[in-house]
Amino acid sequence: MNTIPEIAEVIRSLKSAVIFTHMRPDGDAIGCGVALSRALDVLGIKNQLVNEGEIPAKFLYLSGAEKFLRFPTLDAEAYICVDSSDERRLGELCKTFLKGANKGKVTVNIDHHISNTRYCKYNFVQGRSSNCENIADLLEALGVPFDEIICNALMTGIITDSGSFSHSDVNGDTFRAAAKAADGGAQVDKITNELFRRQSKARSELYIGTLARLRYLLDDKLAIAVVTQAALEKGNLSQSDTEGIVDYALTVDPVEVSICLMEVKKGQYKASFRSKGKVNVNEIAAVFGGGGHILASGCMVFGDLEEVIDRLRYAVLSHMGDV
Ligand SMILES: [Mn+2]
């Protein structure tokens, strides 16, 4: 493992770099990418920012988010990965990354997931509530001024990955990084408005319709929400529009496990799990070949809806213990 000053020295010596972010990018991945890309611009290091997919529209308020490319066209000296615990998290771009690594490009990994496999030549991994906190330290070591672009990007990652400063791993570091971003001009009101206080009518209707049909099982300890393809198509919505449904159902008092089932196609459902803590949903997802964390996990389940619900209900029951 390397230190932040060592990573800063490697970056300072570069003439060009491609910054890789993980598939289905969240606010932290996007924030890290935008902030680091801006810093490299300031340092005069030619760079490109890549993601295998589309950047969700709700993050396009960020100045710098328009820089994302699907594929690098720059034959850069270095490949830098942010917020990605292993190469496979890069999705389609994993092949590109490995090809570059094999050709001897300088590879750098800056991440906050403790499961990180240290897959680069230079690795900095520190478990923090967001990787934007690590990037903030790196930019400080690089002597890059915290301008508005950098600060809005960092604040976006800090707010989203810390669950608005609510997760168990939020500590002084989180607030110190947030304070630096705020001092540098991060627009907290604008960011939180864009992220949490606006949505399309179609998305709102999907939300209301889905929650109105929430199913309670196992003495109200299990809640299951179902999002059909028909409902998504009706509103011209995508998978990212279902975000938050599973968290909402968990707020109901007796519910210990919440599941959101999203129909991928006929006979195939993507299940997202949330737990209040008494039930390990990582183990439940593993029953179906998925995984994740104790409190949040996911998997694919195949079969007709009622059959899928029965199997999930049984799997949750078997992992409930004396809850
Ligand atoms: Mn993250």
Last residue of a domain, one of 196, 214, 232: 196
Note whether 251 and 179 are same-domain residues.
no
Q: Are residues 133 and 73 in the same domain?
A: yes
Is 231 inside any structural domain? yes
Q: Are residues 66 and 176 in the same domain?
A: yes
Distance 198 CA to ligand 1 centre (A): 23
φ/ψ of residue 112, rounded to 5: -120, 5
- Please write the tens of the pLDDT for every residue from 248-294: 999 999 999 999 999 999 999 999 999 999 999 999 999 999 988 88
Residue 224 has pLDDT above 90, yes or no: yes
User: Is residue 189, in this structure, part of any structural domain at all?
Assistant: yes
Residue 75 falls in which region: left (phi positive, over 0), alpha (psi -120 to 50) or beta? beta
Is the distance from CB of 209 to CB of 231 less than 8 angstroms?
yes
Domain that holds residue 14: 4-196
Model confidence, pTM: 0.89
- Could you say which of 178, 196, 214 is where a domain stops? 196
- State in Å: Cα 163 to ligand 1 middle: 11
Q: pLDDT by residue (tens digit) across 11-69?
A: 999 999 999 999 999 999 999 999 999 999 999 999 999 999 999 999 999 999 999 99
Contact between 265 and 277 under an 8 Å Cβ cutoff? The reply is no
Q: Looking at the domain assignment, is residue 34 inside a domain? A: yes
Average model confidence (pLDDT) across the chain: 96
Whether residue 191 is found in the same domain as residue 208: no
Confidence of residue 240 (pLDDT cuts 50, 70, 90): confident
Residues 308 and 191 in one domain: no
> Which pLDDT score is estimated for 20?
98
Q: Are residues 152 and 176 in the same domain?
A: yes
With respect to residue 103, please indicate whether it lies within any of the assigned structural domains: yes
pLDDT-derived band at 242 (thresholds 50, 70, 90) equals very high
Q: Are residues 171 and 97 in the same domain?
A: yes
Residues 226 and 176 in one domain: no
Q: What span, in angstroms and rounded, lies between the C-alpha atoms of 316 and 44?
A: 54
Distance in Å, CA 127 to ligand 1 centroid: 10
**Is the domain of 182 the same as that of 222?**
no
- Please compute the mean of the pLDDT values over residues 306-320 and round it to a whole number: 97
Query: Do residues 144 and 279 both lie within one domain?
Result: no
Residue-wise pLDDT for 172-185, tens only, equals 999 999 999 999 99
How far does residue 311's CA lie from ligand 1's centre (Å)? 31
Alpha helix positions (H), the chain = 4-12, 27-42, 94-102, 131-142, 148-161, 172-183, 188-196, 201-212, 229-234, 245-250, 281-287, 305-318
| Number of domain units in the chain | 2
**CATH number of the domain residue 302 falls in:** 3.10.310.30
Question: In this structure, what CATH number is given to the domain that contains residue 147?
Answer: 3.90.1640.10
Q: Please tell me the predicted confidence (pLDDT) of residue 291.
A: 85
Give the Cα separation of 69 and 67 in Å (integer). 6
Mean per-residue pLDDT, 153-172: 96
pLDDT score, position 153: 98
Q: 196, 231, 250: which is the final residue of a domain?
A: 196
Does a structural domain hold residue 323? no
Q: Are residues 298 and 212 in the same domain?
A: yes
Determine the distance separating the centroid of ligand 1 and the alpha carbon of 131, expressed in angstroms: 5
CA 27 – ligand 1 centroid, Å: 8
Q: What is the pLDDT of residue 292?
A: 80
Q: Are residues 213 and 103 in the same domain?
A: no
pLDDT tens digits, one per residue of 107-139: 999 999 988 999 999 999 999 999 999 999 999
